[in-house]
Amino acid sequence: MIWTPGVARAARRIATAAALGGGGLTALGATAYGLLIAESLVARKVIGRPHGMDGPSADGTYGDFSGEPIRMVMLGDSTSVGLGVSDPARTPGVLLANGLAEVAGRPVRLDVFGRSGAPSAHLGEQVDQALRVRPDVAVVFIGANDVTTQTPPAVAVRHLQKAVRRLREAGTEVVVGTCPDLGTVQPLAQPLRWVMRRWSRQLAAAQTVAVVEAGGRTVAFADILGPEFSTNPDEMFGPDRFHPSDRGYAQAAHAVLPSVCAALALWPEPRPAHGDGLQPIYLAAATAAEEPGTEVTATRVAGRATGPYGKWVTLFRRRLGALLDDA
């Protein structure tokens, strides 16, 4: 795995600012911030909103099984609701619910509380709604709107960490899909695309630190789960060339499902061992930001949760095929 010290330093700086209540202008500085404002206005006009702002209604119970349903909620932005998908069955929430039901052998009750356009600051309202249904697991897709609205990363991370902590204190397992690499979005011209890539990856690394510290686990979306988004944009992106296509959403759900199952103890956790899988949190966060589909979760080394460089975590990619074979 590749160590990216610049991203690791940025993750530490952003996470520290969030903990201390600071905002910080951005992860990139004032010059890039001004450039992003100007260029993003142009990009928004190019992208437009051909899908509107509402995704298909996907609330319901999934899986042809008997027994008490597992309660799952989807929180976050437009990707959590599957904006751009016309068939509810192709939304990430329904794909996850059906997959989870197959693994658990139980029905899954899905409630989608995510909202298109939501930044991390809106997670508090969504958590309020989610806690009313007492979910077993919450899946959160968030971050892109924090970048496009120029929200200071430390502010965004602080809202996310608070949301995760509230859910965990209520007994809900939490899996967060971190900010995707917006540098893959084709309507964005250079140098905005480079700015977006750097900003989104630094935010993703800081999100990982905050989520794991709050008791959740993360799955890195990075370049939205694979080079196919760069090489096959017409297949992986929808008509607006910003949101994923049906195939793109399926790939996201495919990466997140194993972590959701593991969070509910339906899939064994890896055995921590010295090597690439076991890392200090800031190094792991930086690595995950560059490695699509990578999960980061807290662990212990010799009975200790922290080491000389912060919390110990495991970093790995689960295999969905093996999970389904054993289900």
Joined tokens for residue 191: 């140098």
**Best CA proximity match to 185, nearest among 233, 126, 250:** 233
Q: Determine whether 240 is an active site residue.
A: yes
Instruction: Give me the phi and psi of 257, to 5 degrees please.
Output: -55, -45
Q: Which of 51, 122, 159, 243 is catalytic?
A: 243
SS3 content of the chain, % helix, strand, coil (to 5): 50, 15, 40
Length of the chain measured in residues: 327
Q: Determine whether 276 is an active site residue.
A: no
Whether the CB-CB separation of 19 and 157 falls below 8 Å is answered with: no
C-alpha pair distances (Å), 283 with each of 2, 81, 142, 156: 10, 31, 21, 21
CA distance 120 to 151: 9
Instruction: Give me the phi and psi of 61, to 5 degrees please.
Output: -110, 130
Q: How many CB atoms lie within 10 A of CB 39?
A: 18
Q: Which of 59, 230, 240, 254 is catalytic?
A: 240
Find where tokens 């209604």 sit.
Answer: 57
**Best CA proximity match to 116, nearest among 86, 92, 82:** 82
Q: Determine whether 78 is an active site residue.
A: yes
Q: State the Cα torsion 223-229-230-234 to the nearest 10°.
A: -150
Instruction: Give me the phi and psi of 68, to 5 degrees please.
Output: -70, 130
- Collapsed DSSP state (helix, strand, coil) of residue 37: helix
Q: Which of 51, 77, 78, 245 is catalytic?
A: 78
Q: Which residues are catalytic?
A: 78, 240, 243
